[in-house]
Amino acid sequence: MVGSLLASAVSDPKCAVPDMVAYDEAQAILAAYMQNIPLLTTEFVSISQASGRVLAEDIRAVMPRPEADISAMDGYAFRCADMEKAGSVGLPLAGQIAAGDASPSLEKGVACSILTGARIPAGADCVVAQERTSITDGHVHLLEQNVRNGLNIRRSGEEFCKGDMLLEHGLKLDWRHLSILAHQGKEQVSVYKHPKVCVVANGAEFGATATDCRTELNTQLLAAMLQSEGVRVTRYVCGSDSMEALHKLLHQCAQEADILITTGGISVGQTDHVLHVLCQMGAKCLFRRVKMRPGKPMTVMQLGQKMVFCLPGNPGAAAICAQLFIIPFLRGFAGEKQEKKTSMPIEGQSSFAYVAAADTTSFLPVYSTENKGKNLITLVRSVGASDILCLTQATGLVRVSAGTSLQVGDMCQMIPFTA
Amino acid sequence: MVGSLLASAVSDPKCAVPDMVAYDEAQAILAAYMQNIPLLTTEFVSISQASGRVLAEDIRAVMPRPEADISAMDGYAFRCADMEKAGSVGLPLAGQIAAGDASPSLEKGVACSILTGARIPAGADCVVAQERTSITDGHVHLLEQNVRNGLNIRRSGEEFCKGDMLLEHGLKLDWRHLSILAHQGKEQVSVYKHPKVCVVANGAEFGATATDCRTELNTQLLAAMLQSEGVRVTRYVCGSDSMEALHKLLHQCAQEADILITTGGISVGQTDHVLHVLCQMGAKCLFRRVKMRPGKPMTVMQLGQKMVFCLPGNPGAAAICAQLFIIPFLRGFAGEKQEKKTSMPIEGQSSFAYVAAADTTSFLPVYSTENKGKNLITLVRSVGASDILCLTQATGLVRVSAGTSLQVGDMCQMIPFTA
């Protein structure tokens, strides 16, 4: 039938399709959903394998740091009162202590040489740095008189005490945390398992038999994006218009993955089967289409306990939707708490003007440059939702909310891309 | 001999030791050195393995994007002039084209249905979106009259043309670039090899026979930091005071690694053999001690063509020196150009005051929080160069240059930690 290529997703009676939502509403729906899903299960890994993983236990100090009173300097340890009493005669040198040595008691009226990190001998109450002393006839003399009790002594527990909370459950571990775990004698640590995601690209143009065959780009792009987040990704391409083939593939993915991602096949064309097939499989629609640009077709379904993110087929739009919706969701799903982050928004002055449509929130590819301590946010030319070159020239996105505008010189925030 | 634990590095006649340098001078010495060292060699990897690697070739477009004129919409393609002539009668529907289909010529006086991404049939000069049309008796009618030549047609090459420079040599590849490589039909790409680094911790307190045996933390911390930069790291601990053992170990490391890192053993104690041993091996000193806090003992040696970074033994100081000196060096060494970066400094308002000593540049652990579009930079309490807990509470460093001060409310820049 002529014109039959164009259908409407709402024509499927199986699928209750909610109205298009505003961008913030879509994010709120996802956030609310996040509250109720079970987190991933956990596993133990050796701490040398733990960087990049999300901690699934609280780490409280089982031993303090420093573990004992130790010297902060290479120098001489003695009793302040002894040195005061000795005056210009100085204190006779008796013994030496290096880090790793056992620490004997210090006899009265003597000094001992001590290296950084070595235990303070019982009886000593200060350390004077080598360069502030002179040695004559086996006696230590002070070049300056300002010694005091506790000088250059790192007290046991001054960094943290036994029982202190060191690392909290939900923390994404990196080099900063591994030395803490090593110090606490942890050989293994409990972390959340890596989530498993299947990415399914959909489009007859990717089929080997298509006359105008295209190279499929989305699964490559999304796999790299998610893998650098610690996600195990399997890529699939459904290069046919067959609903049966798509059904079979999505059913298999639902078996093997924690989360499904589809690209393409969610528009109004007759070959856009993704939502129909998911509805047939029993999925519910959380939202269908978002008032945003790019990314208007963005749809999220729930298939049993599993989330299905249905991304637009245009790779530029798919990438931006994945950055805005999927990455934050996956981080939460993987147990990560999102408090102090190193990837903060970057604030800067806009070098461009932009007016968002009344009902559409725009996300613009930008990069940030620094000049005299000020960040300048510059727009990258884009030809639209399909543009992938603009993403390579950008380092993040600026949001211009529906019905608002950005003027040259306005302060704005760049949401940095993930690596 | 009493007091013999304390010696001076300058006492070794083999080692010409330059004076302590200012922080910026140390960085300038390293940067100048970088100009003259050979980059790593290259290898080919499949593009699915290329994320995180540094591109060693320029990628110019061998095919444009889009490759042909294609539809940006699901809708109807026709000639504007035909539709104008037809007026309220509309144009009869004749045929349909989906993405992947061959594209026949469009007969005069008709319209065809077309899906997003499909090739524009020869003869058609515009596409009208489905929702702006109605279909009656097999004819397409416009709901609005604003059609024009080129409407909703993505022209061949509008994103980029054949011959355009797409990705330049020296770029660190991530998800943003892989779709470009895939589009260009690249299956393999030339990248720089991963650098190989040996990290050697030095200290008798790490030896199994030490009375006051300590857990060695630096190699764990540095290995995780460098591995997340794509570096292959081997960890070694020299847990003895034997110069022979240290010599043997450093000699072995110089054979296997591109770059050496040592921690500890560079102070004035008699057990601090690292610089002596490196001098014996023929290393030259690029700089010895830096006017910075923490990290004053920081020293860089050159052993043949290989760089040796000698870090302080205190793990807090070692980590900060590695962030400031080693990470930027390694990125350059690994071929990466440092232009547009996602990890820009984060500008914000200081919530604390700090006065740097007249001759010492301070690096303070801080974190950044956002409130009403403004970043606030907050100081993390630290007990000094040994502190590792403060790093877990910080997300970066603020520099306060020698002889300057920071006031509450001043704008400052946080250098974010690497992940």
| Domain boundary assignment for chain A | 9-40+194-333, 42-64+159-192, 70-154, 346-416
* pLDDT single digits (tens) B158-186: 999 999 999 999 999 999 999 999 999 99
Q: Average pLDDT, whole number, for chain B?
A: 91
Which of B93, B103, B172, B179 best probes binding to A when mutated, by most A CB atoms within 10 angstroms?
B179
pLDDT for position B12: 55
Q: State the SS3 of chain A.
A: CCCCCECCHHHCCCCCCCCCEEHHHHHHHHHHHHCCCCCCCEEEEEHHHCCCCEECCCEECCCCECCCCEECCCEEEECHHHHHHHHHHCEEEEEEECCCCCCCCCCCCCEEEECCCCECCCCCCEEEEHHHEEEECCEEEECCCCCCCCCCEECCCCCECCCCEEECCCCECCHHHHHHHHHCCCCEEEEECCCEEEEEEECHHHCCCCCCCCCCCHHHHHHHHHHCCCCEEEEEEECCCCHHHHHHHHHHHHHHCCEEEEECCCCCECCCCHHHHHHHCCCEEEEECEEEECCCCCEEEEECCEEEEEECCCHHHHHHHHHHHHHHHHHHHCCCCCCCCCCCCEEEEECCCEECCCCCEEEEEEEEEEECCEEEEEECCCCCCCCCHHHHHCCEEEEECCCCEECCCCEEEEEECCC
Nearest to B130 among A217, A268, A341 (CB): A268
* pLDDT single digits (tens) B402-415: 999 999 999 999 99
* pLDDT single digits (tens) B228-252: 999 999 999 999 889 999 999 999 9
As given in the structure block, the two tokens for residue A136 are: 């004559």
Q: What is the ipTM of this complex?
A: 0.87
Domains B42-64+159-192 and B346-416 in one fold: no
Has domain A42-64+159-192 been given CATH number 3.90.105.10?
Answer: yes
For B346-416, which CATH superfamily applies? MoeA, C-terminal, domain IV (2.40.340.10)
Rounded distance between C-alpha atoms, residue B287 and residue B298, angstroms: 8
* Burial of A60 per CB tally in 10 Å (0-12, 13-18, 19+): middle
Tens of pLDDT along chain A (419 residues) come to 334 566 544 455 556 677 899 999 999 999 999 888 888 899 999 999 999 999 999 999 999 999 999 999 899 999 999 999 999 899 999 999 988 898 889 999 999 999 989 999 999 999 999 989 999 999 999 998 888 999 999 999 999 999 999 999 999 999 999 999 999 999 999 999 999 999 999 998 999 888 888 999 999 999 999 999 999 999 999 998 899 999 999 999 999 999 999 999 998 777 789 999 999 999 999 999 999 999 999 999 999 989 999 999 999 999 999 999 999 999 989 888 865 454 568 888 999 999 999 999 999 999 988 776 678 999 999 998 999 999 999 999 999 999 999 999 999 999 999 88
E strand residue ranges, B164-276: 165-167, 188-192, 196-202, 232-238, 259-263
Which of A107, A344, A372 best probes binding to B when mutated, by most B CB atoms within 10 angstroms?
A344
Q: With an 8 Å Cβ cutoff, are A96 and B130 in contact?
A: no
- Using an 8 Å Cβ cutoff, are A385 and A314 in contact? yes
Closest-CA distance, B375 to chain A, in angstroms, reads: 8
* B208 band by pLDDT with thresholds 50, 70 and 90: confident
Nearest to A204 among B3, B99, B269 (CB): B99
Q: Which CATH class is domain A9-40+194-333?
A: alpha beta
As given in the structure block, the two tokens for residue A1 are: 């039938």
Question: Is residue B136 pLDDT above 60, yes or no?
Answer: yes
Average pLDDT of the segment spanning B23-46: 92
User: Which residues does chain B have within 8 Å of residue A7's beta carbon, measured at their own beta carbons?
Assistant: none
Selected residue with higher pLDDT from B211 and B294: B294
| B412 phi, psi to nearest 5 deg | -145, 170
Closest-CA distance, B35 to chain A, in angstroms, reads: 24
pLDDT for position A7: 53
pLDDT for position B172: 93
Q: By percentage, how much of chain B surpasses pLDDT 70?
A: 94
User: Which residues does chain B have within 8 Å of residue A113's beta carbon, measured at their own beta carbons?
Assistant: 2-6
User: Which residues does chain B have within 8 Å of residue A393's beta carbon, measured at their own beta carbons?
Assistant: 340
Question: Is residue B340 pLDDT above 50, yes or no?
Answer: no
Tokens 């509309």 sit on residue: B90
Q: By percentage, how much of chain B surpasses pLDDT 90?
A: 77
Q: Which CATH architecture fits A70-154?
A: Beta Complex (2.170)
Q: With an 8 Å Cβ cutoff, are B369 and A340 in contact?
A: yes
Closest-CA distance, B217 to chain A, in angstroms, reads: 5
Selected residue with higher pLDDT from A10 and B323: B323
Question: Is residue B190 pLDDT above 60, yes or no?
Answer: yes
Average pLDDT of the segment spanning B276-302: 95
* pLDDT single digits (tens) B56-104: 999 999 999 999 999 998 999 999 999 999 998 999 999 999 888 988 8
* Burial of B175 per CB tally in 10 Å (0-12, 13-18, 19+): buried
Which of B20, B176, B206, B401 best probes binding to A when mutated, by most A CB atoms within 10 angstroms?
B176
If one looks up domain B9-19+197-333 in CATH, what number appears? 3.40.980.10
User: Which residues does chain A have within 8 Å of residue B373's beta carbon, measured at their own beta carbons?
Assistant: 347, 411, 413
